[in-house]
Amino acid sequence: MNRWGMVIDLDRCTGCQACIVACRQENNIPFAGERWAKLGRAKFWMNLIAEVKGHYPNVKMHFIPVPCMHCDRPPCTTVCPVEATYKNPEGIVAQVYPRCIGVRMCVSNCPYTVRYFNWHAPSWPNEYKRGLNPDVYKRRKGITEKCNFCIQRIRKAKEIARKEKRKIRDGDITPACAETCPTEAITFGDLNDPHSRVFRLSKSRRAFRLLEELGTEPKVYYLKEGEWKDG
């Protein structure tokens, strides 16, 4: 059984946000517009957190791209009264849109704040509708949605592998964020496969996970920034 996971190398990441736009275009995520964005209602399945510290000239700034952590012990699924969200057998924390009734317990119980509520029906200008991805399911107002590791791409890759009568290979599946990343900071793959790149990177000495102390067992790993050594 596959166990999908992701590694984000913060030494490579430049905070460019290509992953964010790629994710939104791939997953038909509408922009919120000025009014709702200012209220924090913009949906970013992949988000970028920025932190500025210190005083001039001793300033530090860090960027962290934050998708859903796809926790092995997800705090969000256990609070859903209608089982609209669950961890699927391959470890993806998925959302069943027709079942969701919008109580938002999952949103408030997610320590990573990566679940997004549809406060409004998606409002696209008609012209943009031509550019929607037909592989992604419709969402309506009043339900919750989130990153699903581009599950439509996983489905497609499996389809192709099945047609070619072979197993999925490492690198067959690339979520939109990983595919576009200019500095190749994002790696996706099977954490159960000891030969996969993502497995190897997750064991790096630089690897860590967000809020590890909560015991949520995220499947998104980060690699911390390096330092230059003279010599």
Partner 1 sequence: MIIGAMKINRRELLKMLGAATFGMALPEKLLHALPKEGEWIPYEEYWSRGICLQCPSGCGLNIRSVNGWPVKLEGNKAFPINQGRLCPKGQAGLQVLYDPDRIQHPLLRKGNRGEGYWDKISWDEAISLVTERLKRLRVASRPHQLLVLGGRYRGHMLELMKRFMETYGSPNHFGNPFRGSEGILKGHFFTMGEKDFLSIHWEETNYVLSFGASLLEASRSAMLNLRGYGALRRGRPGFRGKLVQIEPRFSVTASKADQWIPIQPGTDAALALGIAHWMIKEKLYDQDFVSQYTFGFEDWKDAKGRTHTGFKTLVLREYAPKQVAQITGVPEETVIQLAQEFSAHQPSIAISGRGVGMQTNGTYAQMAIDCLNALVGSIDRRGGLLRQRKPSFQKWPPLFRDSIAEKGLSQPRIDGAGRLPFPFAVEIPFLLPEKIEKGEPYPIDTLFLYYTNPLFSIPESEKFRKALNQVPYIVSFSPFMDETTKFADLILPDGTYFERWQDDLPEPGPGFPVFGLRTPVLPRPIHDVRNTGDVLIQIAKGLGGSIAKSFPWKDMEEALKEVIKGVFRSKRGSIHAEDFEEFWKGLVEAGGWWDKAYPFGEWRKKFNTPSGKFEFYSLMMERGLSELSKKDSKDINSILKALKIDAKGDKAFLPHYENPRLIGDEKDYPLHLIHYKLMTTAEGRGANQPYLQEIFGPHLKENWDSWVEINPETAQTMGIQDGDLIWIESRVGKVKAKARLFAGTHPGCIQIPYGQGHRAYGRWAEGRGINPNDLMVRDYDYLGGFLSYFSTRVKVYKAREGVT
Binding positions for partner 1, rule: CB under 8 A: 9, 11-12, 14-18, 20-22, 24-26, 28, 31-34, 37-38, 42, 48, 50, 52-57, 59-63, 96-98, 125-128, 130-134, 136-138, 176, 179-185, 226-230
Nearer to partner 1, 61 or 211 (CB): 61
Least Cβ distance, residue 35 to partner 1 (angstroms): 9
Nearer to partner 1, 65 or 218 (CB): 65
Nearer to partner 1, 81 or 98 (CB): 98
Is the preceding omega at residue 75 within 30 degrees of 0, hence cis? no
**Shortest Cβ 91–partner 1 spacing (Å):** 20
User: Whole-angstrom Cα distance, residue 81 to residue 43?
Assistant: 23
Closest approach, Cβ 20 to partner 1, in A, equals 6
Q: Exposed, middle or buried: residue 166 (CB in 10 Å: 0-12, 13-18, 19+)?
A: exposed
How many angstroms separate the CA atoms of 221 and 207, rounded?
A: 6
Compare residues 96 and 103 and give the one whose CB is closer to partner 1.
96
The least CB distance from residue 37 to partner 1, in Å, is 5
We find the least distance from the C-beta atom of residue 213 to partner 1, in angstroms, to be 26
* Rounded alpha-carbon distances, angstroms, from residue 34 to 44, 132, 208: 15, 22, 35
Cα-Cα-Cα-Cα torsion 134, 168, 74, 121, nearest 10 degrees, comes to 0
Q: Which residue has 């190897």 as its token pair? A: 200
In terms of CB distance, is 20 or 173 closer to partner 1? 20
